[in-house]
Structure 1
Amino acid sequence: MGQDVKLTPRTATIDDLDALKITIRRAIDQLQSGFLTPDQIRASHQVMGLDTQLLRDGTYFMLLDGDTIAGCGGWSYRKTLFGGDASIVAREPERLDPAIDAARIRAMYTDPGYVRRGLGRMILDLCESAARTAGFVRSEMMATLAGEPLYTACGYRRLEAPIAAAAADGVSVPLVRMGKSLQ
């Protein structure tokens, strides 16, 4: 697989869920290792992941190399800031008001075989564009330490000190709330 791979963006559907879960698991297990301990990586599966509400809302994107998911990520007009279906993070399905609230950037993952090719930036651009089209002028996310350098390079700034999201086994995973103007 060369650097000149042609990637096709597509909105994910519920039919993509099994393949997305594989990509997400690989990304968490392999790309967090320079930032988290092995226990924190295991705990990350309880804190991170895909919220299928994004699939139902049509706000989750994939970048495909043929039939292979090279990367994925989404945005949301709902209050939930982070966490997936399997996470212990509470869901907040209420709708946000674009006039006063920030859109949520959610569940950004790159398959380990496709890192350092600009996929994160490409997915982020898709999400920000869709959020702008929906009337949002700001976006926020809860970033992993591994993702923070990318988001900083894309104009996001820390909104508060890192938090420690606790998994069911008591292991904490550090996360950083970040935001950006979309204007």
Structure 2
Amino acid sequence: MALTSRLARREDVPTLLPLVAAAIGELQKGFLDDAQIESSRSIMGIDTQLVDDGTYFVVEIDEQVAGCGGWSRRATLYGGDHSSGRDPAFLDPRRDPAKVRAMYTHPAFTRRGVGRLILSRCEAAAAAEGFASLELMATLSGRPLYEAAGFVPIEHVEDAAGGTPVPLIRMRKPIRTAAS
């Protein structure tokens, strides 16, 4: 199994959209009910600003797209192109955490290191730009991965933008440096 990653390009987006839909629809089963899963589609998705900023990754296993995700130096914490409330303001790495965003693994490729690879790429890139911590908004199904990677819950919220409230968890972690 060859696991590789690269920066996403705009031409990857049509391939990533069905992967995102499959991840939302399948990987949240057992964590959310059907109405919550459907509602989550309105608050989740790819934010092409990340692709344009060069902070979004595609992971492939044996040349098949297995997952995607990235990080941001902008204020938006979560949501896709279609989500309301996005904020393109730049963060200050001296005081703000970089945002880990839009992480999805195709259901056929779970538990193979896709998420961990994306998180490591995000952490390294954010550290290179001077950020000292990372923050994300986790789904219930994503929480175990993030906790295993060192993120800790700091706030439990619900987003009802899709009609049915969807539980989410804001999580944060310090970025490991050679000195820490």
- Tell me which interval the TM-score lies in, with the shorter structure as reference length: over 0.9
Compute the displacement of 1:167 (Å): 2.4
Whole-angstrom CA distance in 1 between matches of 2:74 and 2:42: 20
1:23-69: CA deviation from partner (whole Å, max 9, x where unpaired): 11110000000100001111111011111100100100011134421
Aligned pairs for 1:1-183 within 5 A: 5-87=1-83, 89-160=84-155, 162-168=156-162, 170-183=163-176
Whole-angstrom CA distance in 2 between matches of 1:182 and 1:153: 14
* Count, aligned residues: 176
Whole-angstrom CA distance in 2 between matches of 1:8 and 1:181: 25
Whole-angstrom CA distance in 2 between matches of 1:86 and 1:45: 10
Whole-angstrom CA distance in 2 between matches of 1:143 and 1:27: 14
TM-score between both structures, scaled by the size of structure 1: 0.93
Whole-angstrom CA distance in 2 between matches of 1:67 and 1:46: 30
Q: 5+ unaligned residues in a row in structure 2: which ranges?
A: none
Compute the displacement of 1:159 (Å): 1.0
Compute the displacement of 1:121 (Å): 0.8
How large is the Cα RMSD of the aligned pairs? 1.0
SS at match of 2:67: strand
- The amino acid of 2:70's aligned partner reads G
Whole-angstrom CA distance in 2 between matches of 1:65 and 1:81: 28
Whole-angstrom CA distance in 2 between matches of 1:59 and 1:166: 28
Whole-angstrom CA distance in 2 between matches of 1:62 and 1:69: 7
Whole-angstrom CA distance in 2 between matches of 1:17 and 1:167: 24
TM-score between both structures, scaled by the size of structure 2: 0.95
Whole-angstrom CA distance in 2 between matches of 1:44 and 1:177: 16
Whole-angstrom CA distance in 2 between matches of 1:164 and 1:65: 34
Compute the displacement of 1:71 (Å): 1.1
- The amino acid of 2:160's aligned partner reads A
